[in-house]
A and B are shown apart, each in its own frame.
Chain A
């Protein structure tokens, strides 16, 4: 059972990388979403290109580029830094797309009602449109978060000692059939985190759709 203990040593790092890069993406997605919704065609196209490029490059390539290929003067990314920024940038692009989708499905009447009441542009956006768009984006954002928990294992490729890295290290020291057990242990821990999250998301979604429709 020591194997579970070893794998769990990586759990805090798994959670840290996931939470930090999701937070990065949740905030970074806002300016990208604004760009995707810009009134200016040039801005829209430029941001669209950025988002598609970010999403088009595999996660592991992003992490390698940041970790091995990025240097400004003496500045270089640490393992953890590269993992958080890399996964964060990718998350920004995906979440921007989800936010945009949330706004796109808002009934036109919501904007018009706010305008007709005489609410200013900022108030209309922040208090009327954004909460509804976020609510629409919530299920897909939660699904993305669950995928991100698992994708955080890619951080092991640049030297972050999260669960999969811990399992790999244990496996190398214990060849043979015992070598698979740390990965099974890691899989179990991922499931134990993901399933409750999925249940919580469905509950929240059901509660919101009852009252907010």
Chain B
């Protein structure tokens, strides 16, 4: 994996993400309360916090898997304002720029690994089957999984499936990548393979927002750390700085709990 994951990607101009005054409730439960975050183009932001803090919901609002009640989400030059029914055209235009990786991989089980990576390219970018499969094979090779191309996802390990899921998203040349606890369903040893790919992607200058419990990854790879609790941002800033010297009691409690495990 010496070759860069997105070296041929001169087509990619990485976009920034700006979230302004975002709120979201599920029933009477206010999951996000007036959140604002700026993610610079090419930077890595780690979102941490206890479960139920709203960090996954925040991530899912960025590509509108959840519809925010209020606020705006800006990805590159695409601005989406909440508080109304968002037309499909607008949803697709936004999602076109944003790739997402899930905790549970969510590969399509009825497709081969190759089709998983090629099919979205054909549908979304209008590539020919040959073109899409060629790109899929190139990317799979870079994460060491070319030999799995004709297997089905069920025949791959969790770590392999997650790397395939990353490749599936990258094949569409997103300008921002979202990761929702990408290693939480994996054994620690297997998670390392996935983190290595993410690290490489970060080095290549991909804009990344990562919800994670991997503190080492957050410290070493991310440029910006956001600590959330109860739908609020408790603290944000330099990852190493916050971990060494948290300013807020809530941050301190969370970090202690994570580090003591």
Q: Is B102 an interface residue (CB 8 A)?
A: yes
Known A118-B95, A212-B152, A213-B152; judge A113-B102 contact (CB<8 A).
yes
A118 touches B120 (CB 8 A): yes
Interface size class of A (residues with CB under 8 A): 20 to 34
- Give the shortest distance, in Å, between B207 (CB) and chain A (any CB): 16
A118 touches B172 (CB 8 A): yes
- Give the shortest distance, in Å, between A105 (CB) and chain B (any CB): 13
- Give the shortest distance, in Å, between A166 (CB) and chain B (any CB): 43
Residues on B with beta carbons closer than 8 Å to the beta carbon of A131: 110
* CB neighbors of A among B79-116 (8 A): 88, 91-92, 95-96, 98-100, 102, 104-110
Cα-based distance from A212 to B107 in the complex (angstroms): 11
B104 touches A107 (CB 8 A): yes
A119 touches B154 (CB 8 A): no
Partner among B105, B106, B107, B154 whose Cβ is within 8 Å of the Cβ of A211:
B154
Residues on A with beta carbons closer than 8 Å to the beta carbon of B105: 109
Residues on A with beta carbons closer than 8 Å to the beta carbon of B168: 117
B172 touches A110 (CB 8 A): no
- Give the shortest distance, in Å, between A208 (CB) and chain B (any CB): 9
Known A115-B65, A212-B110, A212-B152; judge A120-B102 contact (CB<8 A).
no
Q: Is A112 an interface residue (CB 8 A)?
A: yes
Of the candidates A115, A117, A123, A212, the one having the most CB atoms from chain B within 10 angstroms of its own CB is A117
Residues on B with beta carbons closer than 8 Å to the beta carbon of A118: 92, 95-96, 120, 124, 172
Cα-based distance from A115 to B60 in the complex (angstroms): 11
Residues on A with beta carbons closer than 8 Å to the beta carbon of B98: 116
Q: Is A146 an interface residue (CB 8 A)?
A: no
Q: Is A37 an interface residue (CB 8 A)?
A: no
B154 touches A112 (CB 8 A): no
Cα-based distance from A107 to B88 in the complex (angstroms): 22
Partner among B96, B110, B123, B169 whose Cβ is within 8 Å of the Cβ of A123:
B123
Cα-based distance from A132 to B99 in the complex (angstroms): 23
Residues on B with beta carbons closer than 8 Å to the beta carbon of A109: 102, 104-106
Q: Which 9 A-B pairs have the closest CB atoms?
A: A213-B154, A113-B106, A109-B106, A118-B95, A116-B100, A117-B120, A211-B152, A131-B110, A118-B96
- Residue numbers of B with Cβ under 8 A of A are 63, 65, 88, 91-92, 95-96, 98-100, 102, 104-110, 119-120, 123-124, 152-155, 165, 168-169, 172
